[in-house]
Amino acid sequence: MYCHREGEISPEEEISLPDLENIFLVANELGITSVKLTGGEPLLRKDLTQIISSIPKGMEVSLTTNATLLRDMAQELKDAGLSRVNVSIDSLSRDLYRKITGKDFLTSVMDGIEAALKSGLTPVKLNMVVLKGLNESEIENFIEYAGRDRNLILQLIELLDVVPCPYHCDLALIEEELMFRADRIITRRMHNRNKYCIKGAEIEIVRPLHNTTFCARCNRLRVTSDAKLKPCLLRSDNHIDIRGKRGEELKNLFLEAVSKREPYSR
């Protein structure tokens, strides 16, 4: 699955800022220490700065974006309380980027990455979904690009093959090569996946369906854009509606969502 909407079909009404403020408040009371804003594309929210500002102090705030609008927003987002960004970018070639995304926005994306670095939204994680027959040959270019700045981290992401797809690339062999080449290997505690240090770059392999330890240890809870708690990334049959909920009722719904979490099984 290359990109998805957390199981949504088409939200009738986007989650409101007051609902988000209450969600952040309860999350903070329950000991949740970090918030990641994703999408779709979160930079399309006109009230994104207010959303970030409403997150309680002490909670880390990060964001995943395609960076096409990031150049002019980076400093404003940093000032509002954003800590760092993940940038989805699957090619450093303008022609191939246009082929994959359907848009000629690579220059804007690269400008957005530079603005993020300059504004201190670091580390900037580069999310490259490896697509068989399309961008496999660019991995080395990405390693060299990430190696030029210690605040860049490259994440090679395996395309989810829940539905058979000709672009799916098994990253097992690529990871073996990185392991052989690495000057140093660091194992991330929560994800139980390795970070390979090569040519000054840090590279992670993200294989969601091949990391049972991560699934078993998962402590994440997602909120969809139509105001539902989503306990598991790859399930859409156990969502909990929290639109308009407040206080103890909202807190109890959080606990109910956690109780519904199950390791994903194919």
State pLDDT tens for residues 167-206. Answer: 999 999 999 999 999 999 998 766 667 899 999 999 999 9
Give the C-alpha distances (Å, rounded to integers) separating 238 from 211, 220, 222, 234, 266. Answer: 22, 15, 12, 11, 16
Query: Which residue range(s) make up the domain with 79?
Result: 17-259
At residue 124, the pLDDT reads 98
Bigger pLDDT: 171 vs 161: 171
Q: Quick check: is 175 in a domain?
A: yes
Whether 188 contacts 195, CB under 8 Å? yes
Percentage of the chain beyond pLDDT 70 is 89
Q: Could you tell me the maximum CA-CA distance found in the chain, to the nearest angstrom?
A: 52
Q: Quick check: is 119 in a domain?
A: yes
pLDDT tier at 46 (50, 70, 90 boundaries)?
very high
Q: pTM, whole model, 2 decimals?
A: 0.91
For the segment 81-96, the average pLDDT, to the nearest whole number, is 98
At residue 13, the pLDDT reads 81
Q: Quick check: is 8 in a domain?
A: no
Please work out, in degrees rounded to the nearest 5, the angle formed at the alpha carbon of residue 236 by the alpha carbons of 230 and 241. Answer: 50
Q: Quick check: is 264 in a domain?
A: no
Bigger pLDDT: 52 vs 188: 52
Q: Quick check: is 117 in a domain?
A: yes
Residue 161: is its pLDDT beyond 60?
yes
Whether 150 contacts 160, CB under 8 Å? no
Cis peptide before 244 (omega within 30 of 0): no
At residue 208, the pLDDT reads 66
Count: domains in the chain: 1
pLDDT in tens, 100-138: 999 999 999 999 999 999 999 999 999 999 999 999 999
Q: Quick check: is 246 in a domain?
A: yes
Q: Quick check: is 53 in a domain?
A: yes
24: DSSP letter: H
Q: Quick check: is 239 in a domain?
A: yes
203: DSSP letter: E
pLDDT tier at 2 (50, 70, 90 boundaries)?
very low
Residue 139: is its pLDDT beyond 90?
yes
Question: Residues with Cβ < 8 Å from 54, sequence gap 6 or more?
Answer: 17, 20, 21, 24
Output the six-digit token pair for 136. 């496999």
Whether 127 contacts 87, CB under 8 Å? yes
CA quadruple 154, 265, 3, 97: dihedral, nearest 10: 50
At residue 11, the pLDDT reads 54
In what helix (H) or strand (E) does residue 212 lie, and over which residues does it extend?
Answer: helix 212-217
pLDDT tier at 165 (50, 70, 90 boundaries)?
confident
Please work out, in degrees rounded to the nearest 5, the angle formed at the alpha carbon of residue 228 by the alpha carbons of 224 and 234. Answer: 60
At residue 19, the pLDDT reads 96
In what helix (H) or strand (E) does residue 158 lie, and over which residues does it extend?
Answer: strand 152-158
At residue 7, the pLDDT reads 47
Reference 56, options 76, 79, 26; nearest CA is 26
* Residue 68 backbone dihedrals phi, psi, to 5 degrees: -65, -25
Bigger pLDDT: 200 vs 13: 200
Complete DSSP assignment for 94-150: HHHHHHHHSS--HHHHHHHHHHHHHHT--SEEEEEEE-TTTTGGGHHHHHHHHTT-T
pLDDT tier at 218 (50, 70, 90 boundaries)?
confident
Whether 67 contacts 109, CB under 8 Å? yes
CATH number at residue 202: 3.20.20.70
For the segment 237-255, the average pLDDT, to the nearest whole number, is 96
